[in-house]
Amino acid sequence: MVKESLKRELEKLDELQRKYEQVMGNYIVHIRSDRVDLFAQDEIAYKEAMEAWRIQFDRIYRMSDRTEECRKRTRRLQHMKVVLNRKMY
């Protein structure tokens, strides 16, 4: 039960990760093309995507303490967080 629930939550996190990367890609394109008129919209989309990702990450992180197998997934999540933080800077 916990494994299936965690698997679903990880799939949601993967989806949110893809959405975040898409939002950042759009943001970068707009910056490079000097589309100042879209910066505010991009900033809002970025903040929403990041907040959704963090909420989902925290939810999974709490769930991961429930089983031994989840420790491997926790390491994966920590790696994803490091990768995401690198992309931000």
What confidence score (pLDDT) does residue 3 get? Answer: 75
Under 8 Å between Cβ of 77 and 64 = yes
Provide the terminal-to-terminal Cα distance of the chain, rounded to the nearest Å.
38
Domains contained in the chain, number: 1
Q: Provide the domain limits for residue 69.
A: 2-20+46-88
Residue 84 in any domain: the answer is yes
Domain assignment present for 27: no
Write down the pLDDT at residue 57. Answer: 92
pLDDT by residue, tens only, the chain of 89 residues: 567 888 899 999 999 999 999 999 999 999 999 998 998 999 999 999 999 999 999 988 887 766 666 677 778 888 887 777 776 65
pLDDT of residue 66: 65
Residue 39 lies in a domain: no
Does residue 83 lie in a domain region? yes
Is-above-0.85 flag for pTM? no
